[in-house]
A = this chain, B = another copy of it.
Amino acid sequence: MSTPLRKPALPSAAFAGANGQPWEEVLAFDADPRDPYLAKAAELRKIFHQDAAARDKAGGRPTEQIELIRKSGLLKVQIPREYGGEGQPISTAYRIVREFARTDGSLAHLFAYHIQQLNKVVTSGSREQQARLFTETAKNNLFWGNTGTSFQRTLTARRDGDDYVLNGYRTFSSGSHVADYISVVWDEDGRSDRISAFLPTTREGLAILDDWDGLGQRQTGSGTVTFTDVRVRKDEIRESQATAGTPFSTLIALLAQSALTSIFTGSAQGALIEARDYTVEHSRPFLASGVERVTDDPWIRRVYGELYAQTAAATLLADQSLRVLDSAWDRGLALTAEERGAAAISIAAANVFSGNVALDVTSRIFEVTGARSATASRGLDRFWRNVRTHTLHNPAEYKSRNVGLWHLTGAFPEANLYH
């Protein structure tokens, strides 16, 4: 082996990939620092990293961190420039999610659900709603949360003139504890689809319990929101004749999958890097190993090599699925059912694969960091707890079946809330 050099001189610009980023950076999973939004996200990640383990342990609200995200301007990264946003591709939003997930799955999750709620306004809201909400969000760096994950019929609505009045509760309400706006959905008897609306979290009758008790993703506030005679105005109900029934409107399910994929990929990368830093700085060779430094043990080298290769493969499959998502999203209402189907396959494959890799990497890192790394305060297990928790929300089994059926017959999955 050549003399170990912790930081090799950066390769010259000539040794760079198609987009000009040096290969050395690409191989190290670095977000492209020449993209100002990704550079900003990387900067935030470093700040979040300082107390990510401690905050994970504490649970509750990452108040300061949310404030930093607000100030960064990233909440409007994908909002069109005409509404005061940054007009970046949807893939950039998910690259930010991935970047956050490298140290903090909860903040990644909150950002991803914010993006998800905003895009619901695109896929099923009217032009007017988009203009109004996007402008307000961009101007004030508003945060969006969600109460629509659960499918239990725990929320009832009655008509009162043009308004609805809601009573009941919602579980799994990610981001509600930090949000300015939340999305809310309910079923109406005799109607096959659900009605959805957006509400400011200051709306009378809303109570956000902040009772989330997940074993992972602990600062996502994915707890209960109760509704006591909460009034929803007609113009708060998402409704669009333009998008209704279009393939484009069904992309929303693929955004949810892309959020998961980004969190899985970032978690695997982050776990691998945090473990590496621990091993190099703290680990000692096993007594029976016969080597002087832990990095001399062929076992330690091999395991890191295997985990790296998997993570790199997952990253590229996730990257591809984001490029496909950009293609699909940019097609807008012209998107055909076949194009939507192809996007669903790419995104499902990346989702399944990155979830499996993330579960493996986040558990196996301990093998190479060793007994003394396994403390509650160090929190190296938060990566596994985050991924383990989050993989349960849209089981890989059904995504695999969809991919397999497509490979067999060319059939695409029926668009629904999950795929």
Interface residues of A (CB under 8 A from B): 1-9, 11-12, 14-18, 23-24, 26-27, 151, 172, 213-216, 218, 272, 276, 279-280, 286-289, 295, 298-306, 308-310, 312-314, 316-317, 319-320, 323-324, 327-328, 331, 334-339, 341-343, 345-346, 348-350, 352-353, 359, 363, 366-367, 370-371, 373-381, 384-385, 388-389, 391-393, 395, 397-405, 407-414, 416-419
Query: In the complex the two chains form, is B371's CB within 8 Å of A393's CB?
Result: yes
A3 to B407, CA, bound (A): 14
Our pick among B26, B345, B366, B417 for the contact of A388 (Cβ within 8 Å) is B366
> Which residues does chain B contribute within 8 Å of A309, judged by CB atoms?
317, 349-350, 352-353, 400, 403
Nearest Cβ on chain B to A410's Cβ, whole angstroms: 5
> Which residues does chain B contribute within 8 Å of A419, judged by CB atoms?
288
Query: In the complex the two chains form, is B300's CB within 8 Å of A410's CB?
Result: no
> Which residues does chain B contribute within 8 Å of A346, judged by CB atoms?
23, 27
Our pick among B151, B303, B314, B414 for the contact of A404 (Cβ within 8 Å) is B303
A401 to B4, CA, bound (A): 14
A407 to B414, CA, bound (A): 33
22 A–B contact pairs at CB < 8 A?
A4-B410, A8-B342, A11-B336, A151-B287, A213-B377, A214-B375, A214-B376, A286-B395, A295-B409, A299-B397, A302-B401, A305-B407, A308-B403, A308-B404, A312-B317, A312-B320, A316-B316, A316-B320, A367-B395, A371-B389, A373-B392, A381-B388
Query: In the complex the two chains form, is A411's CB within 8 Å of B337's CB?
Result: no
Nearest Cβ on chain B to A343's Cβ, whole angstroms: 8
Chain copies in the assembled complex: 4
Nearest Cβ on chain B to A133's Cβ, whole angstroms: 28
> Which residues does chain B contribute within 8 Å of A377, judged by CB atoms?
213
A-B pairs, 8 with minimum CB distance: A305-B400, A304-B404, A305-B404, A305-B403, A4-B411, A301-B404, A316-B316, A4-B409
Contact of A280 with B408 at beta-carbon distance under 8 Å, contacts A374-B388, A400-B302 already known: yes
A23 to B331, CA, bound (A): 13
Query: In the complex the two chains form, is A408's CB within 8 Å of B301's CB?
Result: yes
Residue of B nearest to A353 (CB): B309
Our pick among B9, B286, B335 for the contact of A398 (Cβ within 8 Å) is B286
Contact of A11 with B313 at beta-carbon distance under 8 Å, contacts A301-B401, A306-B404, A374-B216 already known: no
Residue of B nearest to A302 (CB): B400
Query: In the complex the two chains form, is A399's CB within 8 Å of B215's CB?
Result: no
| Given A303-B404, A309-B350, 10 new contacts (CB under 8 A) | A5-B409, A11-B342, A16-B327, A172-B371, A218-B376, A280-B408, A304-B407, A305-B407, A367-B391, A374-B389
Our pick among B1, B308, B339, B345 for the contact of A414 (Cβ within 8 Å) is B1
A385 to B384, CA, bound (A): 10
A98 to B175, CA, bound (A): 42
> Which residues does chain B contribute within 8 Å of A408, judged by CB atoms?
276, 279-280, 295, 300-301, 304
